[in-house]
Amino acid sequence: MSLSIGIHDLSFATAEFVLPHTALAAYNGTEIGKYHVGIGQESMSIPAADEDIVTMGAAAAAPIIARHGSDRIRTVVFATESSIDQAKSAGVYVHSLLQLPSATRVVELKQACYGATAALQFAIGLVQRDPAQQVLVIASDVSKYELDSPGEATQGAAAVAMLVSLDPALVRIEDPSGLFTADVMDFWRPNYRNEALVDGHESINAYLQAVEGTWKDYTEQGGRTLEEFAAFCYHQPFTKMAYKAHRHLLNYCGYDTDKNDIARAIAQTTAYNTVIGNSYTASVYLALAALLDQAGDLTGKSVGMFSYGSGSVAEFFAATVVAGYRAHLRTEHNRETIARRRPVDYTGYRALHERSFPTDGGHHATEAQTTGPFRLAGLSGHKRLYETR
């Protein structure tokens, strides 16, 4: 009999500032309906000068360590598209900030927004091999496109931390998975660039092809039928994408695409992403957090999870909600994490977007802006300096 392994705890963090789409629309003259309805975004999280994927990742994971301790954690897998170093894993900084035991393996994974799902599957494999161990998976990203580009409205920032263990308290991750890889240039970021490059409309097509491809493989692998899922969490680069994806899947499977049925399957999964924006690797797990926090009792129900990383790699799998899960949710904390962000005006946002660290190897302190638990204090001799506030 296969073991029950999955997500035992899930916690997220986001950035210090929030830019409402009304401010972006007022600046660039876009009719606000395009943002609120057309792409389904209300606001986006904007990191302070002293925040990055490490500070957000540590802030997401800290409540998990506070609740469960770190005695059983022997592996930390950090997934990101917005990596800060070509060699050193961002997870090693988090390991240090959280004072995790030295007897830990730490690694960083990359495949655009898909990386956290690879991390989750690797974690499950490790727990299968040693059921006493727990794995800390951290997905942390800052989504950044060029100013005044179509992608600008789909930026955001957040980190999700998940504790993967035997007999999980939240959801069991099932076999099989449906897999899909295709070599496409829909979204990418060469090492010398801070902002992603994207072929926006091509990326939507590539995503929809991956929905089809994963579902085809999932079915061939003997997965559940569409009717067996209570809801679907899609990767949400913008929340309207989840609606497009579900309509596409229903069409592909020969079903009617009734607007209300689609809304029933998707609406509760978008609550966090619609106000945070794209968080790349974290996005589909923010969708899961929103669903678990908002839906009625889901005990025993299966949720379809679709993870997409441009370039592209995708995976569809089932997460089945376990009895008693509601006692382990962080609903109030999640609400506060979003509510505590401070509004930034358009000029302030633009200044944050345009800033970058000097590359001269000198000592450069960052302005103290964040009120979060960890901060990037500066850069010295090409080394990032972090501190606990």
The residues annotated with a catalytic role in the active site are 81, 113, 235
From the CA atom positions of the chain, what is the Rg in Å? 20
* Distance in angstroms (rounded) separating the CA atoms of residues 35 and 109: 32
CB of 225 to ligand CAA, least distance (A): 26
Nearer to ligand CAA, 68 or 199 (CB): 199
Nearer to ligand CAA, 274 or 278 (CB): 278
CB of 102 to ligand CAA, least distance (A): 35
Nearer to ligand CAA, 7 or 204 (CB): 204
Is residue 218 within 8 A of residue 178, CB to CB? The reply is yes
Backbone angles phi, psi at 74, to 5 degrees: -115, -5
* Distance in angstroms (rounded) separating the CA atoms of residues 310 and 105: 27
Helix ranges restricted to H, 88-199: 90-97, 115-129
The angle subtended at Cα 143 by Cα 15 and Cα 239, nearest 5°, is 90
Nearer to ligand CAA, 90 or 198 (CB): 198
Does the N-terminal peptide bond of residue 302 adopt cis geometry, omega within 30 degrees of 0? no
Nearer to ligand CAA, 250 or 329 (CB): 250
Count of helix runs (H) and strand runs (E) in the chain: 12, 18
* Distance in angstroms (rounded) separating the CA atoms of residues 289 and 17: 21
Taking CB atoms within 8 Å and a gap of at least 24, the contacts of 223-226 are: 223/176, 223/178, 223/316, 223/318, 224/302, 224/318, 226/250, 226/253, 226/255
User: Which residue sits closest to ligand CAA, CB atoms considered?
Assistant: 38
Task: Return the C-alpha torsion angle 98, 58, 80, 301, nearest 10.
Answer: 100
Contacts of 357 (CB under 8 A, 6+ apart): 364, 379
CB of 188 to ligand CAA, least distance (A): 10
Nearer to ligand CAA, 31 or 336 (CB): 31
CB of 96 to ligand CAA, least distance (A): 29
CB of 278 to ligand CAA, least distance (A): 5
Binding site for ligand CAA (CB under 6 A): 31, 33-34, 37-39, 113, 150-151, 153-154, 186-187, 198, 200-201, 203-204, 207, 235, 237-238, 241, 278, 280, 308, 310
Query: Which two tokens mark 106?
Result: 């730490």
CB of 235 to ligand CAA, least distance (A): 6
